Amino acid sequence: MANASIIQFNNVTKQYDNDPPVLDNVSFEIERGKFYTLLGPSGCGKTTILRLIAGFMEPSKGEIFFNGKKINQIPANKRQVNTVFQDYALFPHLNVFENVAFGLRIKKLKNADIQAKVKEALSFVNLSGYENREIREMSGGQRQRVAIARAIVNEPEVILLDEPLSALDLKLRTEMQYELRELQRRLGITFIFVTHDQEEALAMSDEIFVINKGTIQQSGTPTDIYDEPINRFVADFIGESNIVSGKMKKDYLVEFVGREFDCVDMGFNLNEPVEIVIRPEDLEITSLERGKLQVKVDSQLFRGVHYEISCYDKDGNEWLVHSTKKANVGDEIGLYFDPEAIHVMRLGETEEEFDRRLETYADVDRHGK
Amino acid sequence: MENKLTRNLYKIPYLLWILVFVIVPIALVVYYSFFDIEGHFSLGNYRKFFTPVYLQMTVSSFWYAFLITAISLIIAYPTALLLTKTKHKQLWLLLIIVPSWINLLLKAYAFIGIFGTYGAANSFLKVIGIGQQQILFTDFSFVFVSVYIFIPFMILPIFNSLNELNPTLIDAANDLGASKWTTFRRVIFPLTIDGVKSGCQVTFIPALSLFMLTRLIAGNRVITLGTAIEQHFLVTQDWGMGSTIAVFLIIIMVLIMVLTNTKKRGV
């Protein structure tokens, strides 16, 4: 698959003076034609990765490859990538046409070619007819589109998007998520999208890199990351989670909140301490007797598609439930969940070890059949 | 009602200022410009302004003001650009601004000392083997000292507009393939042109009517409209002609303001 790889980071570190590194020994590969998302809280290093790819900064250590060539020293204006900036960075002294044409004019294309390409790029982002508008006359969503058109018109191999939707209101943001995804499929260009919004990441990406404190915590498809978070940070950051500590009694049996439950995880040491994740939507409200857990309803919020119910068990653990059924605050209720709903996380496991363990499950499944 | 009353009260100092220090003086200047030296009403002063003597003076004023502005700009823009990139930019800026707080006359006398026959400049020229030169009372010394005096006023607005420039725009230009020079030409300079314009305004307009420096530093070898006004009011006592020149200066200043003022663009 080396052929499909377009960007490669080998042990890249970025550090300013003696501060703790912004990016700590990061290695990954980006494949051609996919939609990638770098997801993490602010200050985690995701924008640093983007700026390293764009060429606005150089790594302190490590190597960056683009199409197999080392590009550490190559300045931004010589790279085959274009960026859509968070604040769009449109040139206020130029109109829409000239903003989009900026890169083409620098390449000294013929005027007729520029006309044709800008027209095509603007129609790609549904802005045909806006050529002569000034930037200040455009709304936030329209400016966003101009910024995208300005990037795609140069036909780069990779487009970098730095939280481009964060300034838009919710409805427009959802709309733009669809459009961006659609655009990426039509163009077939690699998109690298930076965001701190996990829903955005899950909805749009082929691959997500979850980043925290300068390291990649986990990478994988949205479903992988949502269903099999590697650690507490990922579980907490991607979606809502109930996380409690427990102990793996033996394969397929786990103990937490003082009780033993059947589960589908294996390959742990006997009595290994672990963390348990159960997603709020996997918890079902039922009667006290039928419930695997007995909890008291503490508060309830109506979220539109569901109720968000916060409960406490007698040990004081909080259990968050997403349910279409309403509960009554103060009631004692039972919570039911399937063995598949329990996700067991090993403490301090690296991504490689985690992947290896998941592969042994797959082997067992195959042999079992 | 009380609100309206207080608002009107606030207007009084402003209106009084405008009336006493702007409208009345201009009206007086225009009024005096219609009287000849004997105190008779006439349009002669205006006719006289269009004679070669005064036209040459106007051209010379413009030429020196242009030189001073152009040289100031050439020095100020790179300086301002450099200042915005330094770590303690406000401190460096302050150091450049501070000399402008010192009285102009004092600075002029200081330069007489430096440029004089036995001054520091000539001692230096002697040491490096060029030998003593006439520096004071030349075009060079006049332009040099004027540029020195106007540079802070040129740097300040340019510095401010560079400082306000969104740095992501420079990244964006880079990202789209622009080299450093192209980025400057196509993004940085066009976006700071307002600062350049106001810098040129505050330099060019006062430079048109310099008169103290023309006497002290240029030894009256440089005659500008400012010198002419001073001479008419204080030496020849021809207030009418002095006022006429002043009227033309005012018209020229207003024209420059109008021509260099464009509506502010922004996002």
**CA nearest to A247, candidates A238, A259, A230, A239:** A259
Residue B40 counted as domain residue: no
Flag whether pLDDT at B164 surpasses 90: yes
CA within 13 Å, CB half, B109: 4
- Contact partners, residue A245, CB within 8 Å, separation at least 6: A256, A273, A274, A275, A276
CA quadruple B178, B181, B182, B183: dihedral positive or negative?
positive
How confident is the model over A120-135, as pLDDT tens digits?
A: 999 988 899 999 999 9
Give chain B's domain count: 1
> Helix B139-164 crosses helix B193-208 at what angle (to 10 degrees)?
150
Count of beta carbons in the 10 Å neighbourhood of residue A276: 24
How confident is the model over A213-252, as pLDDT tens digits?
A: 999 999 999 999 998 899 989 998 988 889 999 999 888 8
Closest Cβ opposite residue B177 in set A85, A86, A106: A106
For residue A71, what is the DSSP state? Answer: -
Closest Cβ opposite residue A106 in set B169, B182, B190: B182
Interchain proximity B175–A83, CB inside 8 Å = yes
| Cβ-Cβ contacts under 8 Å, A82 against chain B | 175-176
Please report the number of interchain residue pairs, chain A to chain B, with beta-carbon separation below 8 angstroms.
67
> Helix B89-97 crosses helix B52-85 at what angle (to 10 degrees)?
150
Residue A207 to residue A32: CA distance in whole angstroms: 12
Interface test with B, best of A77, A84, A85, A96 (most B CBs within 10 A): A77
Give me the pLDDT at residue A2, please. Answer: 45
Residue B7 counted as domain residue: no
How confident is the model over A32-54, as pLDDT tens digits?
A: 999 999 999 988 999 999 999 99
Pairing of strands A253-256, A242-250: antiparallel
Range of the domain at B98: 52-260
Interchain proximity A106–B178, CB inside 8 Å = yes
Residue B135 counted as domain residue: yes
Residue B222 counted as domain residue: yes
Residue B14 counted as domain residue: no
Give me the pLDDT at residue A145, please. Answer: 92
- Across chain B, how many H-helices and E-strands are there? 15, 0
CATH number of the domain that B141 lies in? 1.10.3720.10
- Considering only alpha carbons, which residue of chain B is nearest residue A91? B169
User: For residues B68 and B147, is the Cβ–Cβ distance under 8 A?
Assistant: yes
Q: Could you list the beta-strand ranges (E) of chain A.
A: 5-14, 23-31, 35-39, 61-66, 69-70, 81-84, 158-162, 190-195, 207-212, 215-220, 242-250, 253-256, 259-262, 272-278, 284-286, 293-302, 307-313, 318-323, 332-336, 343-346
ipTM confidence score: 0.81
- Considering only alpha carbons, which residue of chain A is nearest residue B189? A93
| Cβ-Cβ contacts under 8 Å, A103 against chain B | 176-177
How confident is the model over B118-128, as pLDDT tens digits?
A: 888 888 888 88
Residue B12 counted as domain residue: no
Residue B163 counted as domain residue: yes
How confident is the model over B70-126, as pLDDT tens digits?
A: 999 999 999 999 999 998 999 999 999 898 888 888 998 999 889 888 888 888 888
Flag whether pLDDT at B261 surpasses 80: no
Interchain proximity A93–B265, CB inside 8 Å = yes
Flag whether pLDDT at B267 surpasses 90: no
Query: What is the rounded average pLDDT for all residues in chain A?
Result: 90
Interchain proximity B191–A93, CB inside 8 Å = yes
Domains and CATH numbers, chain A: 5-227 (3.40.50.300), 242-368 (2.40.50.140)
Residue B4 counted as domain residue: no
